[in-house]
Structure 1
Amino acid sequence: MTAPVPAVDFGRRYVGFESRRFAGRAPLRTVLVCVALVLVILGAGLASLTIGAYEVSFDAVLRAIVDPASDPNTRQVVFDWRLPRVLFAMLCGAALALSGGIFQSITRNPLGSPDIIGFGIGAQFGVTLVMIVLNLNTYMFKAAGALVGGLLTALIVYALATKGGTSAFRLIIVGIGVSAGLGSLTSWILISVSVEKAMMAATWGAGSIASLGFDQLVPAATVFACILLLTVPLNRRLPVLEMGDDAAIALGINAGRTRFVAVVLGVALIALVTAAAGPISFIALAAPQISQRLTRSNTPMGIFPAMLTGAALVVVSDAAAQLLMVPVGVVTVSVGGLYLAWLLAAQYARRA
């Protein structure tokens, strides 16, 4: 009697798709994680639509969404007042997570997020200058200030960190120092102006999406879509770059150009969120790492799982912020601080 042939494990299971123009495959676990994250976003988003001064039940929210003939007051509350906030939460979370994945892939370190290495603080400092010093408070001016501030900060950090060779650890340490210096300059500006301006900047600096509507959502979503299209090629190039510049060059990738484009796009994503909602901290740090662990990937640069993880984190955090009646930035800082402490402890234990 012939013995049964043992099953061979070829690694991950994949789901393939094929059409006349496109063909590809994706890991089954990644697909299931993405589906679960979409369900979390939908559930938290629908729950968020019921929260507010005007009480709307869950059934009323569903009727307002699917039935155009339902109560017009409820539809106005759901669609005009609350839906933009949920969509903005999704946009901010996706943009921050994608930016964090880019920088963590470049530095090859889970601490190499724009929150830690100072690029987010640089964008915040640029917006503070535009709002307080130049008295320009429109979205376009704040976006320009955030982009310039973030790029100049990135230039300073890289110039200081690459003396004598490139090191991810040196980049993070220099970034923390530059971030502290910019934070001090921001505080100095706030105590040097009138109370009204300082309060306005402090309210914005807490990170809130409560007052945002479709007027801000449409241009922000358009810019995000353009940046996302430019970022898609990095989904394959940055994981190769993580193996080292020599390996990347051997595989036909221009390491310097790829890294420069990645930094510009990552800072642009941070600037997009900072100009609209203020600094929403620690999402860029946590979302790529959570996504990487959920999908069991070997890189934080997984575009769609990371973006869905970031969107889920911000939507859930914003729902909690509405219940607690605080800005969403307060919730993300509180939860992110605990995550950062755990991450530092895990890094130390691994080295020990």
Structure 2
Amino acid sequence: MTTSSRPRRPADVDVAAEPVDGGRAVAVPTSRRTLRPADDRWSIRFDPRTVVVGLGLSALLLMLTAALIATGDRAFTLAEVASLVTGQGGPPGGEFVVRILRLPRALTAVLVGVALGVAGAVLQSVSRNALGSPDVVGFSSGAATGAVVQIVLFGGSAAAIAGGALLGALVASAIVYAAAYRNGMLGGRLVVVGVAVSALLAACNQYLVVRAEITEAHRAMVWLAGSLTARTWDHVWLVLPAVALLVPAAILLGRRLALLEMGEDLAVALGVPSARTRLLLLVIAVGLTATATAAAGPIAFVALAAPHLARALTRSADGVLLTSGLTGAVLLVCADLLGQRLFAPAPVPVGLITGVLGGGYLVVLLMRARGGASR
């Protein structure tokens, strides 16, 4: 969804200019609808399919989150969950189980999923590469390395681990950006350099774990698996500000991002400061990735798969950032629900579930790409 302060033509179907052979531009109708008030001072463009998909994902996310809170060693009805969450009372001991143990975990899963989904969509658009995601280009590995250094070398608290993850993500992203940036462009180099940096950081993480004492090594390995176990309100307050500030910032830059996807020359011709816009978007992606990793550890493949699924569902470039965030939240909550319920009474960390599912998705994605290239 985009807003504009300029008057719009009184048409129900928007018209977009697309370049064709010879550099000319032609008007192409799109499926966007236009809402205009009587005085015609502003307008809102939206794609009906994107709105429907967003509402559907929101409803699905609400149901999955309610199921995550309601089920477990002690089960609750949905009515009891709603009553306990809103503070209206419920079964004895239910407030502790729901509001102290399960609700923070569920909200952390939702916020981390939103952060990873938006970060993945931003990086795929900036790099113009289907494999551009934080866990592929090294941002998640940088955050993981910063956290492991805190755990192994300093035995840091939760706040220190979060700070280490943020610092590690910033350093890794700076290295990737500096190595990939050439003549004002990033392109596919971002992914290639990111894969190399990610491999180096993964080796560094393994070295730190091997040299650590058994207690710190176990703590680091549990964290590196990616887990939502024992998440508290402190983790919620860690991710919430980043999502509340950075996701709207990414959406505000969404129009520039869409133009960058169409090509460097076209974006510059339309007045987009490409280098500055890319840098701002990368900072947003790094911030979202770092806070998500600090809260839940490195969660694999959510940031990669969510934008692809969002585009397949909406079949539109409009609202892909917000839809990717909702898709990421649905994927992570669903993975946590599967990890807890299918493997009870010994739940599996959510990072392992997303790794298995995401690995299969990546194989399918690469096979489709190879099939398309062979035709």
**Normalising by structure 1, what TM-score?**
0.90
Q: Name the structure 2 match of 1:194.
A: 213
Distance 1:251 1:11 in 2: 20
Q: What is the DSSP-based 3-state SS (H/G/I as helix, E as strand, rest coil) of the residue aligned with 1:56?
A: coil
Alignment of 1:159-170 (within 5 A): 159-162=178-181, 166=185, 168-170=187-189
Alignment of 1:1-352 (within 5 A): 10-12=29-31, 14=33, 16=35, 23-65=43-85, 68-139=88-159, 141-162=160-181, 166=185, 168-298=187-317, 302-323=320-341, 324=343, 325-352=347-374
* 1:338 positional shift: 0.5
Paired AA for residue 372 in structure 2: R
Q: Please tell me whether the aligned partners of residues 18 and 24 of structure 1 are also in contact (alpha carbons under 8 angstroms).
A: no
* 1:192 positional shift: 0.4
Shifted more, 312-321 versus 165-174: the winner is: 165-174
**Normalising by structure 2, what TM-score?**
0.85
Shifted more, 91-100 versus 304-313: the winner is: 304-313
Distance 1:178 1:167 in 2: 16
Q: Name the structure 2 match of 1:5.
A: none
Q: Percent identity?
A: 36
Q: Which has the higher contact order (CA 8 A, sep 6+)?
A: 1
* 1:45 positional shift: 1.0
Q: Residue by residue, what CA displacement relative to the aligned partner does 1:114-170 show, whole Å, maximum 9, x if unpaired?
A: 11111111111111112212332232x323322222222222223333468856333
Distance 1:237 1:331 in 2: 35
Q: Residue by residue, what CA displacement relative to the aligned partner does 1:215-273 show, whole Å, maximum 9, x if unpaired?
A: 22124212321222332322111111112222222222111111111111101111001
CA RMSD for the aligned pairs? Answer: 2.4
Distance 1:162 1:17, change over 3 A: same
Shifted more, 43-52 versus 180-189: the winner is: 43-52
Q: Name the structure 1 match of 2:16.
A: none
Count of residue correspondences:
343
Shifted more, 164-173 versus 304-313: the winner is: 164-173
Distance 1:69 1:188, change over 3 A: closer
Structure 2 unpaired stretches of 5+: 1-12, 14-27
Q: Residue by residue, what CA displacement relative to the aligned partner does 1:31-86 show, whole Å, maximum 9, x if unpaired?
A: 11011101111111111112222233445434545681432422332222211111
Q: Name the structure 1 match of 2:22.
A: none
Structure 1 unpaired stretches of 5+: 1-7
Shifted more, 218-227 versus 285-294: the winner is: 218-227
Q: Residue by residue, what CA displacement relative to the aligned partner does 1:172-213 show, whole Å, maximum 9, x if unpaired?
A: 222212211111111001000101000000111111112111
Paired AA for residue 350 in structure 2: V
Distance 1:168 1:345, change over 3 A: farther
Q: What is the DSSP-based 3-state SS (H/G/I as helix, E as strand, rest coil) of the residue aligned with 2:46?
A: strand
Q: Residue by residue, what CA displacement relative to the aligned partner does 1:291-317 show, whole Å, maximum 9, x if unpaired?
A: 011000247x72211111111111111
Distance 1:67 1:193 in 2: 44
Q: What is the DSSP-based 3-state SS (H/G/I as helix, E as strand, rest coil) of the residue aligned with 1:232?
A: helix
Distance 1:259 1:47, change over 3 A: same
